[in-house]
């Protein structure tokens, strides 16, 4: 009897293995690139994006309802999830080749993966030189251009800046915003002496340090070297600017940040800024809405804040005008049977009227030209000017090769925790990059 | 094969098919995938043999994660089996009947709290500035021991392990209490007549008589320690600097952040082998017991 059971189990396993040997990664079944609607818009669209926060979700729901109202033959299933759940869900959907018709993408290598895998539709014909394409800021379109082809529709523009409490600056005797990095450190010393935390910082999930490193790397390392290394080239991350960037981070930790930044969230740290405990926070212009009374900020802060971009770093070999940031956008699935309808909806969503509404309601910078004047939030017009004056350096965690990101963020964490020197941390990054090359997923 | 046996086979076939599909198929598929390099975003898979396993053996984060799992397992065995057994014996033997019930409930309540809620709760307790742990240290004059418990690479995993012990301790205590209650009272009476003290009675009567339950709990806590995921994700996300990664979270990061599915599958296979070994021990133990009976 025991032998019979063992034989049966063995047979079952053999059958399973035989079945499995024929399985593999499902091919991408791209649909025809037909972007022209025949007649009035009709059909069903699925949209997956990552703006699930209660402050943002209603805008997108209303936009969908408005489009459906204008086009009675269309229904749209809009799903929004948070940042990390989005990454998980889209990866699973990509693996099963069951992507929604329209989906979100961060710029840089993140979007590139979808383009490279033929999962995103090539929208070059719809955007390059066309009336629709000309409505976008050129830099925003560049964020989704790979190999000369455009794969995404930019929606928002975002940059990282220091928001600061004017009253605390005045009390600490900091009379003007720092123009150089050493001036920023001196300002921190004064603020600390005045009894305040100079820079609120929460790095529980790693990305805030990644944003600071994006900024420092862009200012310390020449752009061409940076691009090559982020893509995982051989012998990457040997330029001395990388160690200098980590030293900048260490200096910021020593003189500006409170202890315990690695265990609290960015949002918890923000509360220190809003409630007058901290003088500054390095945050995204997309977060300006939280600094306003309508976004929950106390009046005392909402009426007394301003911002400045990271000041220049003397001796840096990168760009002194660099600013960490990115353009968030939406891609059309290459397997969608409704490419024409998807493009029509995106045309509506990025139309001037709708874009202005987004700027007005959410306080975000739009990738559509000439919409900043619709802003109600203080500071947004200034943010627009900052973005225009600076060179955008895309977030390290979406720009660099996947396997480089973890060792890099881990190295930043170690430096912030004071557990390792910048030189040792860079060694770990180089080891990570070497492993990425040796054990990389790409053939 | 008799007609009756054929009929029986026919009846169990659907259950077998379901088990094959939902239990064995994913395991076998995971092992197969661990032999390939592939990205969910790109078409095609590259057969690499055991390279993903070689990568794991050369990956310092993998070893650190494994070490964290081992620490988790050892601590869990010490507290959830050893200390819980002592507490169960104390509850049964020393505390009065009425108070015993209340204390049981007190110890059991943490087990009823969801892991995510408990993780968030402990995150607040460990807050470096306003957290209860540091405030309590201040209050008793031990302010010098204030620490960024989850933000320091040396203590982050212990912060998580500590929370896990708090949550599961009461549950295992309850199981051991039930096991102690099944010990015949005559054995304790005989020990008392022989002049054995409480500690001696504990080691010579209680411990041997609940061996069945303690063995089971050791196996469960060890395999549970290698499957740990939620508490680490909620409390530290594996950081800072990967210091609190465990195999489960490293698998997740490799799959969804690193987009290295084959490597993630290899880590999954390692976890399976470890938990399978724990399960096999359990089976072996129960079979030996059945033979002895």
Q: Give the chain A residue nearest B20 (alpha carbons).
A: A12
Nearest to B110 by CA among B3, B228, B231: B231
Nearest to B165 by CA among B211, B228, B254, B93: B228
Measured distance CA(B46)–CA(A441) in Å, rounded? 8
Query: Could you tell me the two tokens for A346?
Result: 């995106």
* A314 pLDDT higher than 50: yes
* B257 pLDDT higher than 90: no
* Set of chain A residues whose Cβ sits within 8 Å of the Cβ of B46: 443
Is residue A439 less than 8 Å (CB to CB) from chain B? yes
What are the pLDDT digits (tens) for B16-33?
Answer: 999 999 999 999 999 999
* Set of chain B residues whose Cβ sits within 8 Å of the Cβ of A441: 37-39, 42, 259-262
Q: Give the chain B residue nearest A26 (alpha carbons).
A: B43
Interface touch A443/B46, C-beta < 8 Å: yes
* A35 pLDDT higher than 70: yes
* Set of chain A residues whose Cβ sits within 8 Å of the Cβ of B264: none
Cross-chain CB nearest to B257 (options A402, A416, A442)? A402
* 3-state helix/strand/coil string of A277-289: CEEEEEEEHHHHH
What pLDDT is recorded for position A367?
Answer: 95
- Between B293 and A77, the more confident residue is A77
Peptide bond into B240 cis (omega under 30): yes
Is residue A419 less than 8 Å (CB to CB) from chain B? yes
Is residue A333 less than 8 Å (CB to CB) from chain B? no
Cross-chain CB nearest to A263 (options B24, B150, B259)? B150
* A15 pLDDT higher than 60: no
Arithmetic mean of pLDDT over chain A? 91
A342 close to A211: Cβ distance less than 8 angstroms: no
Average pLDDT over residues B216-242: 92
Cross-chain CB nearest to A260 (options B20, B24, B148)? B148
Interface touch A206/B46, C-beta < 8 Å: no
Q: Give the chain A residue nearest B240 (alpha carbons).
A: A413
What are the pLDDT digits (tens) for A131-177?
Answer: 999 999 998 999 999 999 999 999 999 999 999 999 999 999 999 99
CA angle B179, B180, B184 (to 5 degrees): 105
The Cα-based distances of A66 to A59, A353, A368 in angstroms read: 10, 12, 19
Is residue A275 less than 8 Å (CB to CB) from chain B? no
* Set of chain B residues whose Cβ sits within 8 Å of the Cβ of A420: 241
Is residue A4 less than 8 Å (CB to CB) from chain B? no
What are the pLDDT digits (tens) for B62-72?
Answer: 999 999 999 99
* Set of chain B residues whose Cβ sits within 8 Å of the Cβ of A439: 37, 51-52, 55, 260, 263
Complex ipTM: 0.84
* Set of chain A residues whose Cβ sits within 8 Å of the Cβ of B263: 439
pLDDT-based confidence at A22, cuts 50/70/90?
very low
Distance from CA of A118 to the nearest CA of B (A): 8
A3: left (phi over 0), alpha (psi -120 to 50) or beta: alpha
Q: Give the chain B residue nearest A99 (alpha carbons).
A: B41
Measured distance CA(B51)–CA(A367) in Å, rounded? 44
pLDDT-based confidence at A18, cuts 50/70/90?
low
Q: Which residues pair with A45 in a beta bridge?
A: A76
**This prediction's pTM:** 0.88
What are the pLDDT digits (tens) for B146-200?
Answer: 888 998 999 999 999 999 999 999 999 989 998 998 999 999 999 999 998 889 9
What pLDDT is recorded for position A212?
Answer: 97
* A361 pLDDT higher than 50: yes
Cross-chain CB nearest to A13 (options B28, B59, B156)? B28
Cross-chain CB nearest to A16 (options B20, B38, B45)? B20
Distance from CA of A4 to the nearest CA of B (A): 11
Interface touch A441/B262, C-beta < 8 Å: yes
* Set of chain B residues whose Cβ sits within 8 Å of the Cβ of A27: 43
Arithmetic mean of pLDDT over chain B? 90
* Set of chain B residues whose Cβ sits within 8 Å of the Cβ of A203: 240
What pLDDT is recorded for position A12?
Answer: 58
Tally of CA atoms within 13 A in the half-sphere of A128 that contains its CB: 11
Interface touch B240/A263, C-beta < 8 Å: yes
What are the pLDDT digits (tens) for A113-136?
Answer: 999 999 999 999 999 999 999 999
B55 close to A435: Cβ distance less than 8 angstroms: yes
Interface touch B151/A264, C-beta < 8 Å: yes
| Residue of B16, B130, B257 to mutate, testing the A interface (most A Cβ within 10 Å of its Cβ) | B257
| Residue of A120, A268, A439, A442 to mutate, testing the B interface (most B Cβ within 10 Å of its Cβ) | A439
A403 close to A437: Cβ distance less than 8 angstroms: no
pLDDT-based confidence at A227, cuts 50/70/90?
very high
Q: Give the chain A residue nearest B42 (alpha carbons).
A: A117
* A378 pLDDT higher than 70: yes
* Set of chain A residues whose Cβ sits within 8 Å of the Cβ of B24: 12-13, 16
A415 close to A249: Cβ distance less than 8 angstroms: yes
* A26 pLDDT higher than 80: no
What pLDDT is recorded for position A1?
Answer: 45
What are the pLDDT digits (tens) for A279-305?
Answer: 999 999 999 999 999 888 999 999 999
Interface touch A87/B257, C-beta < 8 Å: yes
* Set of chain A residues whose Cβ sits within 8 Å of the Cβ of B15: none
* A13 pLDDT higher than 90: no
Measured distance CA(A309)–CA(A408) in Å, rounded? 23
The percentage of chain B sitting over the pLDDT mark of 70, rounded to a whole number, equals: 97
Q: Which residues pair with A161 in a beta bridge?
A: A283
| Residue of B17, B49, B160, B241 to mutate, testing the A interface (most A Cβ within 10 Å of its Cβ) | B241
pLDDT-based confidence at B93, cuts 50/70/90?
confident
Nearest to A425 by CA among A409, A436, A439, A440: A409
Question: What number of C-beta contacts closer than 8 Å exist between A and B?
Answer: 144
* A232 pLDDT higher than 90: no
Is residue A25 less than 8 Å (CB to CB) from chain B? yes
């Amino acid at each position: 009897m025991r032998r019979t059971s063992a034989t049966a189990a063995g047979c079952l396993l053999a059958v399973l293995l035989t079945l499995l040997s024929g399985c593999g990664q499902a091919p991408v079944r791209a649909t025809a690139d037909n972007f022209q609607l025949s007649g009035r818009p009709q059909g069903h669209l699925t949209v997956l994006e990552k703006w699930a926060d209660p402050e943002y979700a209603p805008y997108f729901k209303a936009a969908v309802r408005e489009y459906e109202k204008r086009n009675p033959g269309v229904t749209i299933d809009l799903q929004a999830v948070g940042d990390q759940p989005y990454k998980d869900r889209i990866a699973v959907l990509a693996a099963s080749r069951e992507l929604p018709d329209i989906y979100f993408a961060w710029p840089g290598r993140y979007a590139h993966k979808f383009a490279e895998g033929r999962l995103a539709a090539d929208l070059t014909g719809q955007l390059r030189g066309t009336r629709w394409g000309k409505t976008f800021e050129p830099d925003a379109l560049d964020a989704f251009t790979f190999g000369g082809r455009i794969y995404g529709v930019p929606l928002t523009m975002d940059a990282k800046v220091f928001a600061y409490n004017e009253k605390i600056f005045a009390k600490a005797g900091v009379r003007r915003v720092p123009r150089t990095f050493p001036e920023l450190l001196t300002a921190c010393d004064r603020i600390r002496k005045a009894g305040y935390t100079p820079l609120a910082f929460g790095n529980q999930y790693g990305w805030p340090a990644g944003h600071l490193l994006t900024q420092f790397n862009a200012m310390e390392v020449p752009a061409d070297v940076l691009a090559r290394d982020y893509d995982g080239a051989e012998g990457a991350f040997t330029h001395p600017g990388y160690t200098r960037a980590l030293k900048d981070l260490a200096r910021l930790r020593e003189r500006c940040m409170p202890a315990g930044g690695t265990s609290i969230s960015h949002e918890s740290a923000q509360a220190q800024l809003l409630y007058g405990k901290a003088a500054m926070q390095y945050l995204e212009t997309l977060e300006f809405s939280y600094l306003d009374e309508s976004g929950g900020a106390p009046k005392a802060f909402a009426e007394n804040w301003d911002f400045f971009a990271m000041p220049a770093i003397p001796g840096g070999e990168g760009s002194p005008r660099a600013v960490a940031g990115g353009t968030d956008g939406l891609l059309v699935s290459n397997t969608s049977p409704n490419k024409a309808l998807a493009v029509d909806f995106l045309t509506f969503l990025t139309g001037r009227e709708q874009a202005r509404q987004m700027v007005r309601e959410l306080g975000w910078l739009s990738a559509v030209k000439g919409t900043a004047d619709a802003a109600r939030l203080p500071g947004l017009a200034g943010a627009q000017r900052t973005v225009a004056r600076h060179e955008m350096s895309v977030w390290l965690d979406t720009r660099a090769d996947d396997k480089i990101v973890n060792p890099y963020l881990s190295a930043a964490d170690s430096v912030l925790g004071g557990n390792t020197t910048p030189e040792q941390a860079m060694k770990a990054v180089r080891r990570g990059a070497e492993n990425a090359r040796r054990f990389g997923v790409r053939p | 094969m008799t007609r009756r046996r054929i009929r029986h086979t026919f009846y169990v076939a659907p259950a077998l098919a379901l088990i094959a599909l939902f239990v064995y198929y994913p395991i076998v598929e995971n092992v197969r995938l661990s032999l390939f390099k592939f990205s969910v975003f790109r078409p095609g898979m590259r057969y690499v043999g055991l390279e993903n396993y070689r990568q794991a053996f050369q990956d310092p984060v993998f070893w650190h994660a494994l070490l964290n799992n081992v620490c988790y397992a050892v601590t869990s065995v010490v507290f959830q089996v050893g200390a819980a057994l002592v507490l169960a014996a104390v509850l049964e033997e020393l505390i009065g009947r009425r108070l015993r019930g209340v204390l049981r409930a007190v110890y059991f309540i943490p087990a009823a709290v969801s892991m995510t809620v408990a993780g968030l709760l402990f995150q607040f307790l460990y807050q470096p500035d306003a957290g209860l742990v540091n405030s309590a240290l201040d209050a008793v004059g031990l302010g010098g021991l204030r620490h960024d418990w989850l933000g320091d690479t040396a203590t982050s995993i212990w912060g998580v392990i500590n929370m896990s012990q708090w949550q599961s301790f009461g549950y295992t205590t309850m199981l051991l209490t039930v096991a102690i209650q099944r010990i015949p009272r005559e054995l304790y009476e005989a020990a008392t007549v022989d002049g054995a003290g409480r500690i001696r009675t504990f080691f010579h009567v209680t411990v041997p008589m609940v061996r069945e339950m303690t063995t089971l709990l050791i196996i469960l806590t060890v395999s549970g320690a290698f499957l740990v995921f939620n508490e680490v994700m909620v409390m530290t996300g594996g950081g800072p600097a990967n210091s609190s990664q465990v195999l489960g979270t490293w698998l997740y990061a490799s799959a969804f952040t690193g987009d290295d599915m084959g490597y993630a599958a290899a880590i999954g296979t390692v976890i399976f082998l470890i938990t399978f070994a724990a399960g096999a021990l359990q089976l072996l133990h129960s079979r030996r017991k059945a033979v002895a009976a």
